[in-house]
Amino acid sequence: MTNIFEEVDPTVFRSYVFWSSVLVLKMLLMSILTARKRWAKKVFANPEDAKTTPGGKVNLADPDVERVRRAHLNDLENILPFFVIGFLYTLTNPPVFLATNLFRLVAIARIAHTLVYAVFVIPQPARGLSWAIGYFISAYMAVHTLLKFL
Q: Predicted confidence band at 103 (pLDDT cuts at 50, 70, 90)?
A: very high
6-56 pLDDT, tens per residue? 889 999 999 999 999 999 999 999 999 999 999 999 999 999 989 888 999
Residues 6 or more apart whose Cβ sits within 8 Å of residue 125: none
Supply φ then ψ for residue 133, to 5 degrees.
-60, -55
β-partners of residue 44 are: 58
Which amino acid does the sequence have at 104? R
Q: Output the pTM of the full model.
A: 0.92
b vs e for 87-126, b when ≥16 Cβ sit within 10 Å of the residue's Cβ? Answer: bbbbbbebeeeebbebbeebbebbbbbbbbbbeeeeeeeb
Domain ranges of the chain: 4-148
Q: What is the pLDDT of residue 1?
A: 60
pLDDT average, residue stretch 114-126: 95
- Does the domain formed by 4-148 have CATH 1.20.120.550? yes
Q: Predicted confidence band at 5 (pLDDT cuts at 50, 70, 90)?
A: confident
Find the farthest-apart pair of alpha carbons in the chain and give their distance in angstroms, rounded: 67
